[in-house]
Amino acid sequence: MRKQVESVSSERRSYLSAIRRRRSLIIICKIAIIIAFLGLWQLGGTMGWINSFILSSPLRMMDSIFSLAMDGELWYHIWVTTYEVVLGFLLGTALGVFIAICLWAWPFARQVLEPYLVVLNSLPKIALGPVFIVWFGAGPTSIIAITIAISVVVTIMEVLNGFIHTDEATLTLLRSMGATKMGLLTKVVIPANIPTIVNSLKVSVGMSWVGVIVGEFLVSRAGLGYLVVYGSQVFKMDLVMGTVLILAIECTIMYLLVSLLEKRVRVEE
C-alpha cells in the first residue's frame, strides 16, 4: 500500500511539475515575442528598412516618453486618462448591473425594452460623442458620459443573459417554498452569476478605454488621447507611438487586475 501511495504521489509531482514548466514556457514565449518584435522594429529603423519618421522606433519612442516624464507632463496626462477610465468603468458597470437586475425583476419591461437594447448595442455610440459634448460641455464630464454609454449596454446584456439563464428548477423550488423575488435575487441569482458579472468586467475594461480615448480625441486638452491627437497634428510620430505604448501598458494592467479578481472568485467557489 505504501509503495502505491508513493507511486501516485510521484506521478502527481511529475504532473504538477509539467504544468509549471508549461506555464513558464508560455510566459517566456510571450516575453520573447515582445522582445523580438521591438528588436526587429528598431533594427528596421536603424538599417533603413522602414521610415522611422512615419513608423518611429522603440528608442525614439522611449526618448520622447522620457522627455515628457522629466518635464512632469506625462504623469499629469496619465493621471487624467486613468481617472476618467476608472470612473467611467465603475459607473458603467454599476449602472449596467443595476439595470440588468431591474429588467430581470420586471419581465414585462425586459420584453418591451429588449429590442431597444439590441439596437443600442449595435449603434456606433462614438457617433453620439458630439451630442454628449453639447449636453455636458467640453470637459471630463462628457468624456465620462461617452465611456458610460459605450460600456453600459454591453454590461446590461451580458449580466441580464446570465440572470435569465439561472437554473430554473432551483428558482421554482424556492418559489414553492415561499421565497420572495428579493430573496431569489440575493440568495440564488446574484451568487450564481458572480462569474458572469466578473466576465462582463473584462469586456467593460476595453470598452471603457475606447470611450475615454474617443472622448479625448474629440474634446480634451489633457490625457493620453490628447497627446495622440497633438502628436499627429505636429507630426511627432515618436510621441504618438510612445503614447500608444503607454495606453497598451495601462490597458494590460487594468485587464490583469480584473483577471486576478476572476481567479479569486473561481477559487472561492
DSSP collapsed to 3 states, 153-221: HHHHHHHHHHHHCCCHHHHHHHHHCCCCHHHHHHHHHHHHCHHHHHHHHHHHHHHHHHHHHHHHHHCCC
Predicted confidence at residue 269, as pLDDT, reads: 57
Distance CA 259, CA 185 (A): 25
In one-letter notation, the amino acid at residue 39 is G
C-beta of residue 151 within 8 angstroms of C-beta of residue 92: yes
Distance CA 38, CA 194 (A): 39
Distance CA 218, CA 228 (A): 12
Predicted confidence at residue 4, as pLDDT, reads: 47
Distance CA 125, CA 205 (A): 16
Question: Mean pLDDT score of the chain, rounded to an integer?
Answer: 81
149 burial via Cβ count (<10 Å: 0-12, 13-18, 19+): buried
Predicted confidence at residue 267, as pLDDT, reads: 58
Q: Which of 191, 190, 25 minimizes the C-alpha distance to 100? A: 190
Predicted confidence at residue 158, as pLDDT, reads: 85
Low pLDDT (below 50) residues in the chain: 1-7
Predicted confidence at residue 266, as pLDDT, reads: 67
Predicted confidence at residue 135, as pLDDT, reads: 82
Predicted confidence at residue 2, as pLDDT, reads: 46
Predicted confidence at residue 205, as pLDDT, reads: 86
Q: Residue 58 is placed in which grid cell?
A: 522603440
